[in-house]
Amino acid sequence: MSEWVHVAHLEELTRGRKKVVTVGSEEIALFLVGDRVYALHNVCLHKQRSLAKGTVFNGRVVCPGHQWAFDLETGWEEEKEECQPTYEVKVEGDSVHVIPQRRVLTEAPAVRD
């Protein structure tokens, strides 16, 4: 069972809105959107481009490689029906923590309201 790991201070994200951190063998891209932080595996499941170099748009991060668009919350790619791994995140005060254990959906998530 993995534990929460401190990976960044919130202020490190406020300027660029994203940051790559490494925990063990996990390369994790953090995205600050509004007041929420999302964490996805940084290496795109398609052809290994860096998602942190992508564009955040409409609740998704668009990979710079071939424009697959991964939901920030679930990692799901609607058109391709594939899932980029995500990580659980919590922010306590100025401290961003993740559980460095990949979460992967095997089917489309329920539609959000």
Which spans of this chain sit near ligand FES (rule: CB under 6 A)?
44, 46-47, 49, 63, 65-66, 68
Rg (CA), the chain: 13
In angstroms, give the least distance from the CB of 45 to ligand FES: 7
Amino acid at residue number 101: Q
Take residue 66 and report the two structure tokens written for it: 């071939």
In angstroms, give the least distance from the CB of 3 to ligand FES: 30
In angstroms, give the least distance from the CB of 10 to ligand FES: 27
- Identity of the residue, 54 or 100, whose beta carbon is nearer to ligand FES in the bound complex: 54
- Identity of the residue, 48 or 106, whose beta carbon is nearer to ligand FES in the bound complex: 48
Burial 43-61 (b: 16+ CB within 10 A, else e): bbbbeebebbebebeeebb
Instruction: Indicate the DSSP class of residue 109.
Output: P
